[in-house]
Structure 1
Amino acid sequence: MPSTVVHCALAGLLAAGLLAAGLLADAFDARAVAIVFAVTIVPDLDASAGFLIPGGHRSVLHTLLLPLGIAALLYYDTRVRETSFVRRRWHARSARIAWVSVAAVAFAAIGLDLVGGGVNLFYPIHDQFYALSGELLFSNNRGLVQTFVELGGGEAEAARGSTEQVHINSGIDPTRGAEPENVERVFPVAQSGWQLLLIVTSVFVLAARLWERR
């Protein structure tokens, strides 16, 4: 499963990419990147939720209701209200950083975990873990093939069970219930070649962007 470092790596690339698109524009600097990183880490804090709510890891803060709710509030504050609280309380550029942070939570935090073991997408309204896996390819024999969504049974294929049935381990809470004293607690950094490549690429791109902005 993706580590917090991998989540931040994708969030960093997302922030750098949005800079090129002009969304962050002059708001891009080391402080803005740090804010995006901090917000991206927030969903992983539910790793300790399993002590209070069985199956709470990848549920409590990995629900899509979190970024959707924040995006709705942010839209109301910056687009509907006559005076934006976010802009007045912090700075004009804070709204742009906030939008990038919401995108980072949706794609870099929740999205990566959706393809890396699964998340409880609509918790607590709908208590069901989902995992996105499959392939998209073109074959000279079979034509266009996609197995991410099986038509007629896609939900059954993607569903993994409720919080009562699913426990996703972490270094904080390796197993459901009490652990033995000698239990191994693993805090991953990169668990595959593509994850390490993503981290290195993100460091390189962010360093280049920040050097350019100095």
Structure 2
Amino acid sequence: MSRATSYTPYIFAMTLVVVISNFLVQFPIHGQVGALQLADVLTWGAFAYPLAFLVTDLVNRIHGPKTARRIVFIGFAVAVTASIIAPKLLYATGWLEFEMTASRIARIAIASGTAFLIAQLLDVTVFNWLRKQDWWRAPVFGSLSGSIVDTTIFFSVAFAPVFGFVGAGEPFALENSPLLGLMAMEAPRWVSWALGDFLVKLAIAVVALIPYRLIVASYSRPTLA
């Protein structure tokens, strides 16, 4: 198997995760847990996107940081492209009830691409450093550091008024509502979305240790003659 061919599954996996995440992020989770309206804090994309960190960590562990960065740059290109194409396609096919303006699409694409690139490259760096110290902790802390940066950059650039120069804003996201849909303190709705997104990423980072270890172990086993 050629080196390029050995990377193909990771390129496919990263592309699939990013495209699916950009599709699912358009849909809030409709449901209620006690007094919490899930749509106020979560979209379905929050459950798909963290798998990008799993792909990055696997490539980093098996093929090294140089290859991991290549996969990240491919994912970055896909993230920007999907962020531009997905809203128009969803609206045209009836999946999305409202049409996003070109300015709004541009802002989401910039937020998505910037967050993805910086967070994933940080994950590669932290993972590679921790692997030399205590490798089993590398995927958790690499994903954790990347998740913090990814959530902060994406939701700030996409929704915060201070980044209004990037593109059109989202009035619904700027409305005040109970923090995380439950607390007495109020905050702009996008802040609750960011906190909910991060909590899901944190949970999935821990759960993802299971497939991570299984896959790495399968690569570590000696090949039988």
TM-score band by shorter chain is 0.3 to 0.5
Structure (1 or 2) with the larger CA radius of gyration = 1
TM-score normalised per structure 2: 0.32
Question: Larger RCO: Structure 1 or Structure 2 (Cα < 8 Å, ≥ 6 residues apart)?
Answer: 1
TM-score normalised per structure 1: 0.33
Structure with more helix by fraction: 2
